[in-house]
Amino acid sequence: MEKKQFVFGNKVLRKIFGPICGAGEWKRRRHNEEIRTTQYGDHVIVAVIKSRRLKWAGHVIRRSEDSNMKTETLGSRPVGRPKNRWKDQVLKDLQKLNLTEEDADNRDSWRLKIDEDIN
């Protein structure tokens, strides 16, 4: 999952910085090494994605059980290996940070723990 986040982060940074136009050089796409040497490296993008995912998860956890956010969608799944679900990734992140869903009830301490551990 982190590899996909790296790819996404590189794509966004490539779009932000634009192509390279030098003396006698055609416009060319920035390579990954050139993007990594900027102040926004790979680890920064992944950390931002992870912290925002966990902050949103805290918001969803604090919602009541009858909220639209917690309703189950109906339908059939495609054949093959199941895709990584958002909830599965959140649970992995919570395990890495030694957090539980009950910790999300206190919003201020939840955000503080996420910001301390990820950044």
For residue range 12-54, list pLDDT tens digits in order. Answer: 877 777 777 766 667 777 777 777 766 666 567 777 788 889 9
CA 116 and chain centroid, separation:
16
Instruction: Please give the pLDDT value at position 82.
Output: 80
pLDDT digits (tens, 9 = 90+) for 70-104: 777 788 888 888 888 888 999 999 999 899 889 99
Q: Around 6, how many Cα atoms within 13 Å sit in the side-chain half-sphere?
A: 10
pLDDT at 42: 56
What three-state secondary structure class fits 102?
Answer: helix
Q: What is the pTM of this model?
A: 0.63
Strand partners, 28: 20
Give the per-residue pLDDT at 108: 92
How high is the pLDDT of residue 54? 92
